[in-house]
Structure 1
Amino acid sequence: MTGFFALQTRGTDVRREAMGGLATFLTMSYIVFVNPAILSAAGLPFDAVAVATALAAAGFTIIMGLATNLPLALASGLGINAVVAFDIILGRKVAPDVGMACIVLEGAVAVVLVLAGLREAVVRAVPTSLKLAIGVGIGLFIALVGLRDGGIVVNDAATGIALGDLTSGPALIALAGILVGLGASAANIRGSVLIGIATATVLGLIFGVLDGPDAVARWPHSGDFSTIGDGLDPDALGDALTWTLVPVIFALFMTDFFDTVGTAYAVTSAGGLLDEKGEVPKIRNLLLVDSAAAAGGGAMGVSSVTTYVESGAGVAEGARTGLASVVTGALFALTIFFVPLIAVVGQGVAVSKDTTIHPAVAPALVMVGYLMIQLVRGIEWEQPEDAVPAFLVIVGIPLTFSISAGIGLGVFGYVVTMIARRRVREIHPIMWLLVPLFAAFFASDWLSANVF
Structure 2
Amino acid sequence: MLEKLFKLREHGTTVRTEIIAGITTFLTMAYIIFVNPTMLSATGMDHGAVFVATCLAAAIGCFVMGLYANYPIAQAPGMGLNAFFTYGVVLGMGYTWQVALAAVFMSGILFILLSLCRVREWIINSIPMSLRTGISAGIGLFLAFIGLKNAGIVVDNPATLVSLGDITGLHAILAAVGFFITIALVHRGTSGAVMIAILCVTVLGMIFGDVQYHGIMAPPPSLAPTFMQLDFAGVFEVGMISVVFAFLFVDLFDTAGTLVGVASKANLIKEDGKLPRLNKALLADSTATSVGALLGTSNTTSYVESTAGVAAGGRTGLTAVTVGVLFLLALLFSPLASMIPTYATAGALFYVAILMLSGLVNIDWSDITEAAPVVVTCLLMPLTFSIAEGITLGFISYAAIKLLSGKGRDVSVSVWIMSAIFILKYAFAG
**Fold agreement, TM-score > 0.5:** yes
Deviations 1:305-362 (CA, angstroms, capped at 9, x unpaired): 11111111111111111111111101100111110011111x4xxxxxxxxxx11111
Q: TM-score normalized by structure 2?
A: 0.96
Query: How far apart are 1:42 and its partner, in Å?
Result: 1.1
Structure 1 residue 437: deviation in Å?
Answer: 2.4
The answer to whether residue 215 in structure 2 is matched with residue 220 in structure 1 is no
Task: Work out whether residues 24 and 328 of structure 1, in 8 Å CA contact, stay in contact via their aligned partners in 2.
Answer: yes
What's the secondary structure of 1:75's corresponding residue? strand
Q: Is the 8 A contact 1:293 1:305 kept in 2?
A: yes
* Alpha-carbon contact 2:223-2:295 (below 8 Å) kept: no
Counterpart residue number, 2:357: 373
Q: Deviations over 1:175-228 (max 9, x none)?
A: 110111122233343333223212311211221221112x3222235x333212
For residue 9 of structure 1, what is the aligned residue in structure 2? 10
Aligned match of 1:230: 229
Note if contact 1:133-1:376 (Cα within 8 Å) is conserved in structure 2: yes
Q: CA deviation at 1:275?
A: 2.3
- Number of the residue aligned with 1:209: 210
Distance in structure 2 (CA, Å) of the matches to 1:440 and 1:197 = 44
Tell me, what secondary structure is at the counterpart of 1:245? helix
CA distance in 1, matches of 2:55, 2:313: 24
1:163 matched residue in structure 2: 164
Instruction: State the alpha-carbon separation in 1 of the partners of residues 146 and 397 from structure 2.
Output: 26
Please, which of 388, 391, 394 is the counterpart of residue 407 of structure 1?
Answer: 391
Say whether residues 1:439 and 2:423 are aligned partners: yes
C-alpha separation between the residues in 2 aligned to 1:258 and 1:217? 37
Work out whether 1:427 is the aligned partner of 2:411. Answer: yes
> Structure 2: how far apart are the matches of 1:443 and 1:145?
30
CA contact (8 A) 2:178 2:201 kept: yes
For each residue in 1:101-124, what CA deviation from the matched residue of structure 2 results, as whole angstroms up to 9, or x when unmatched?
111111111111111111122123
> For residues 284 and 398 of structure 1, what CA distance do their matches in structure 2 show?
33
1:370 positional shift: 1.1
1:444, distance to aligned residue in structure 2 (A): 5.4
Q: Which runs of 5+ in 1 are unaligned?
A: 348-357, 447-452
Residue of structure 1 in register with 2:269 after alignment: 274
Give me the whole-angstrom Cα distance separating, in 2, the residues matched to 1:35 and 1:10. Answer: 34
Task: Provide the residue aligned with 1:300 in structure 2.
Answer: 295
Bigger Cα displacement from structure 2, 419-428 vs 396-405: 419-428
Determine helix, strand or coil for the equivalent of 1:44.
coil
Residue 445 of structure 1 deviates from its aligned partner by: 4.8
Confirm whether residue 360 of structure 1 aligns to residue 344 of structure 2. Answer: yes
2:380 pairs, out of 389, 396, 404, with 396
Q: Distance in 1 between matches of 2:7 and 2:261?
A: 21
Please report the TM-score for the alignment, with normalisation by the length of structure 1: 0.92
SS at match of 1:155: strand
Whole-angstrom distance in 1 between the partners of 2:167 and 2:385: 24
Indicate conservation of the 8 Å contact 2:107/2:247, yes or no.
Answer: yes
- Alpha-carbon distance between aligned partners in 2 of 1:216 and 1:124, rounded to the nearest angstrom: 46
Q: Of residues 299, 316, 321 in structure 2, which corresponds to 1:321?
A: 316
Q: Structure 1 residues 41-50 or 437-446, which shifts more? A: 437-446
What is the aligned-residue identity percentage? 38
For residues 207-251 of structure 1, what are the alpha-carbon distances to aligned partners after superposition, in whole Å with 9 as ceiling and x for unaligned? 1221112x3222235x333212123xxxx2231122111111112
Residue pair 2:30, 2:192 contacting (<8 A) in 1 also: no
The separation in 1 between residues aligned to 2:374 and 2:255, in whole angstroms, is 20
Q: Where in structure 2 are the equivalents of 1:32-111 lying within 5 Å?
A: 32-111=33-112
Q: CA RMSD in A?
A: 1.5
Aligned partners of 1:83 and 1:402 also within 8 Å: yes
Once the two structures are TM-superposed, the CA of residue 125 in structure 1 deviates from its matched residue by 2.6
Distance 1:132 1:264 in 2: 16
| SS of structure 2 residue aligned to 1:190 | coil
Deviation at 1:412, TM superposition (A): 2.2
The alpha-carbon distance between structure 1 residues 445 and 279, as it changes in their structure 2 partners (threshold 3 A), is closer
* Amino acid aligned to 1:226: P
| Distance of aligned partners of 1:278 and 1:126 in 2 relative to their CA distance in 1, 3 Å threshold | closer
Instruction: Tell me, yes or no, if structure 1 residue 332 matches structure 2 residue 327.
Output: yes
**What is the DSSP-based 3-state SS (H/G/I as helix, E as strand, rest coil) of the residue aligned with 1:93?**
coil
Could you tell me whether the CA contact under 8 Å between 1:125 and 1:428 is conserved in 2?
A: yes
By how many angstroms is 1:443 displaced? 4.4
Q: CA separation in 2, counterparts of 1:61 and 1:210?
A: 32
- After superposition, where does 1:117-266 map in structure 2 within 5 Å? 117-213=118-214, 215-221=215-221, 223-231=222-230, 236-266=231-261
- Contact kept? 2:381, 2:387, Cα under 8 Å: yes
Greater Cα shift, 427-436 or 254-263: 427-436
Equivalent residues of 1:170, 1:209 under 8 A apart: no
CA distance in structure 2 between the aligned counterparts of 1:288 and 1:360, rounded to whole angstroms: 34
> Hey, what's the Cα distance between the residues in 1 that align with 2:142 and 2:306?
24
Q: In structure 2, give the amino acid aligned to 1:317.
A: A
